Amino acid sequence: MSSNASEPVPPAEILWARFREFLGQWGVVEESPRGWRLTWDGRVTEVELTREQLRTYVAEHLRWRADNGLAPTLDDGLPPAMTDSFGDCFGPQEAPYARVALVGLDFRVVADAP
């Protein structure tokens, strides 16, 4: 799904639902105090993310693309760089539990997670 430059940034609740759908392709998704908890293949990935962080990220992504003369693209309602960054953290997870957090424009593994 692509957006167009004149479209406003979707409301936080819509983006939140889109992110839940994105996570749901790998397992069972539940909201948690930190954001989301994804249970998959005997593992848990906890995602630290707030609705405001998500909306701000999408707004900045669309604004940056427009400012640089690029089409404001979203894949299934989310910025491709955001979903790629999550995949870079999630993909190599071997431990039974990992926590990732949105730091700036990238997801990063939280080193002190149990």
Dihedral Cα 112, 31, 40, 78, nearest 10 deg: -90
Instruction: Give the tens place of pLDDT for each residue, 29-78.
Output: 999 999 999 999 999 999 999 999 999 999 999 999 999 999 888 888 89
2 pLDDT band (50/70/90 cuts)?
A: very low
Is residue 101 within 8 A of residue 90, CB to CB? The reply is no
Structural domain total, the chain:
1
Residue 35 lies in a domain: yes
The closest of 101, 17, 78 to 51, measured between CA atoms, is: 17
Instruction: Give the tens place of pLDDT for each residue, 78-89.
Output: 999 999 999 998
Residue 17 lies in a domain: yes
Residue 95 lies in a domain: yes
Tell me the C-alpha distance between 114 and 111, whole Å.
9
Residue 61: which domain range?
A: 12-109
Tell me the C-alpha distance between 15 and 20, whole Å.
9
Residue 2 lies in a domain: no
What is the sign of the dihedral through the CA atoms of 17, 27, 83 and 98? positive
1 pLDDT band (50/70/90 cuts)?
A: very low
Chain centroid to Cα 90, Å, comes to 11
Report phi then psi at 10, rounded to 5: -60, 155
